[in-house]
A and B are shown apart, each in its own frame.
Chain A
Amino acid sequence: MADITPDRFSAAAPDANAEAVAAHKRRNRLGLGFWIPMTWLAVVVAAAVFADFLGLFPADEIDWMFINEGPNEAHLLGTDHLGRDMLSRIVYGARVSLTVGFAAPLIGVGLGLVLGILAGYYKGWVDEIVGIAIDTWLAIPGLVILLLFSVVFGGSLGMVCLSLGLLFIPTAARITRAATLNHSNREFVLAARAMGASDLRILAIEVFPNIIWPLIAFVLIDIPIAIVIEGALSFLGLSVKAPTPSWGGVIAEGREHLEGSPHISLIPTAVMFLTVLSFNLVGDAIRKRLADQRDGAI
């Protein structure tokens, strides 16, 4: 979602006196609201990357002696209905969520960038075709597209990243198109063209650096969204194939045992909530900074 909150500071910026600038700096410093979520994310990412060296139980080791156990000394977060260690399932599940969370928006923005830049620069029938393609894509709800893809292409991690990435194309293309339209008639572009620069050169050197910032902001917003959608998909059992653990899948498995052993669902729910919230908070803080720097407010 685009930042729809008007920037409270930018209006006052041109004639801002030193005091206002200082106040602005103070308010905009990356405070606890940035560093606490950042720490959490660092822990989750580190755990996911170094999962093999943490001395965890194997994520799919079934132990019939310890079924549906609450947190205890051997199993810090308890075990699930097959006696598998919850901590290790959550840590290995983080791999899936984080991979999808980072890869899907990048794929989507990459492809959307190409479409949007072509539509915005060449206009005319290229624009029309891209417009129809985007409308078509948007006419099917995202999750429905994913269900369709999971039937057709099956559920490997790569396919999940790719098909989820495709969902981000329309918005990325629209943002790029609008930004390109804005810049493609500016003086520096006309000058480059007058000097005989090729279209490719103009797009790469003159236009691209100017449209990259809104796209970076867009990627930041999309990371938590991608994690949530992957969670929904694996909740339905249509993401990566079992027994590979993923957060949505672990939550879904625990649903049957919500009455007797609620920890199986509730712990991964809490972990996923904190992670998504952290990504939202960190993304928001960085986005505000980027916006400020571009506006030249400080």
Chain B
Amino acid sequence: MRYLIRRFQRLVVVMICVTFLTFLLVNVLPGDVAYEMAGMDSSEEEVQAIRDELGLERPLVTRYLEWAGGIFTGDWGASFINKEKVWDALSHRFPVSLELMLLAQLIALSLAVPMGLISAYRPGGRADRLIGTLAFASVSMPSFMTAILLIFFFSLHLGWLPATGYEPLSAGLWANLKPMILPALALGLVEWTVLMRTLRAEMIGVLQENYIALARAKGMSDARILLVHALRPSSFSMITLLGLQVGRLMGGSIIIEQIFGIPGVGRLLVHAVYTRDFIMIQGCVTLFAIAFVTANFLVDIAYAWLDPRVRLERARG
């Protein structure tokens, strides 16, 4: 518990730093926002009017505190470009991105766990080397390239799955999943390798333990040893990695959403970057940071819950 409280304190400090840094970058560096909004041939009075309206004359810290306070009350500001409320835009799009990332992680895990098990069973064996080569190939294949190939084969060549589009869940489960398969594959096919390698490395260690030798001596089948006795103690590093990977997934989802035309937060952010919609950028970055930090905090809790030793040690210390 004490450990979690300390982690939480650190989390709060980090969030303050992240939001302030984003705010600073977006508000101080790109020049005069009001000037840009007013357009090239606007008079000084018009620019001044916008400045007053946005409250840009007030000191930076006041503006930051006001904006940061708004984060808690759901008032994340409104887009300078199309007046859309940032919070509304984000809350509509976040579930879409979340679905994409969860599906991708599901694909990655369902590849990583069996492959890791097979690899660790006979390290250096034929299957292990084959999987290792496969992993090398897919780690050299970034998601946007996989996406191009998937579209080429499955959409254009075979015509099985749509290349773009998105259907909400209310349109039916299959209608929702169908356009999500290729994007999730494109993301998952690069992420599985790290998970697999981590699981393999830890499992090779676990398989040397005495209790595994005992289970083997008792005549337990290899499959049962791997799945029942070795998998759980071998998966701790992999679980920590699941949290850290959220960051990579978010980065990947930005591109994937762009390619497949999925209306998620990543696409919103890229669009905001193209149109220089600063307050929207600020909102997207904050949301990404909150989601990432929260995911890692949850992983920490899950970790303590999975491994009683960690729970006890941390309770004592």
How many residues of B are in contact with the other chain, CB < 8 A? Answer: 57
CB B215 to nearest CB in A, in angstroms, measures: 22
- In the assembled complex, the Cα of A258 lies from the Cα of B142 at a distance in Å of 18
Query: Within 8 Å of chain A (Cβ to Cβ): is B137?
Result: yes
The interface stretch among A56-64, A91-99, A198-206, A273-281 is A273-281
The list of the 5 closest CB pairs from A to B, nearest first, reads A143-B251, A277-B140, A136-B17, A276-B140, A141-B250
A-B contact pairs, 12 of them (CB 8 A): A4-B197, A5-B197, A132-B10, A139-B14, A143-B254, A144-B254, A144-B288, A148-B26, A151-B273, A255-B148, A262-B156, A266-B148
Q: What residues of A have a CB within 8 angstroms of the CB of B255 in the complex? A: 143, 232, 235-236
Partner of B251, one of A142, A265, A269: A142
Q: Tell me if B201 and A5 are in contact (CB < 8 A).
A: yes
Answer yes or no: B279 CB below 8 A from chain A CBs: no
Whole-angstrom CA separation of A264 from B144 in the bound complex: 15
Interfacial chain B residues near A232, Cβ < 8 Å: 142-144, 251, 255
Would you give the 0/1 interface string for B117-151, flagging 1 where the beta carbon is closer than 8 Å to chain A? 00000011000000000001101111111001101
Does any Cβ of A come within 8 Å of B194's Cβ?
yes
* Partner among B15, B136, B142 whose Cβ is within 8 Å of the Cβ of A231: B142
Q: Tell me whether A258 and B156 are in contact in the complex, defined as CB-CB below 8 angstroms, given that A141-B251, A224-B140 are known contacts.
A: yes
19 extra interchain contacts, Cβ-Cβ under 8 A, other than A276-B141, A277-B136? A4-B198, A4-B237, A135-B10, A138-B247, A141-B251, A141-B288, A141-B292, A142-B247, A143-B250, A151-B278, A232-B143, A236-B255, A236-B270, A251-B148, A258-B152, A277-B137, A280-B136, A280-B140, A284-B136
Check B68 for interface membership: any CB of A closer than 8 A.
no
When chains A and B are docked, how far (Å) is the Cα of A148 from the Cα of B288? 13
| A152 interface residue per 8 A CB criterion | yes
- Quick check: is A294 within 8 A (CB to CB) of the other chain? no
Q: Mark B27-47, 1 if CB is under 8 A from A, else 0.
A: 001100000000000000000
B residues 169-197 near A (Cβ < 8 Å) are 194, 197
Is A1 on the interface with B (CB-CB < 8 A)?
Answer: yes
CB < 8 Å neighbour of A269 from B15, B137, B148, B156: B148
- B contact residues vs A (CB 8 Å cutoff): 10, 13-15, 17-18, 21-22, 25-26, 29-30, 123-124, 136-137, 139-145, 148-149, 151-152, 156, 194, 197-198, 200-201, 204-205, 237, 247-248, 250-252, 254-255, 258-259, 269-270, 273, 276, 278, 281, 284-285, 288-289, 292-293
Which residues of chain A are within 8 angstroms of B204 by Cβ–Cβ distance? 6
| Residue on A nearest B244 in the bound complex, by CB | A138
| Closest Cβ–Cβ distance, residue A269 to chain B (whole Å) | 5
Partner of A132 from the list B13, B139, B205, B288 (CB cut-off 8 Å) is B13
Chain A residue at minimal CB-CB distance from B197 = A4
Instruction: Find B139's partner among A6, A236, A280 (CB 8 Å cutoff).
Output: A280
Q: Which of A126-183 contact B (CB under 8 A)?
A: 132-133, 135-136, 138-144, 147-148, 150-153
Bound CA span A228–B252, Å: 11
**Bound Cα distance A260, B281 (Å):** 36
Partner of B15, one of A5, A139, A272: A139
A26 adjacent to chain B (CB < 8 Å) = no
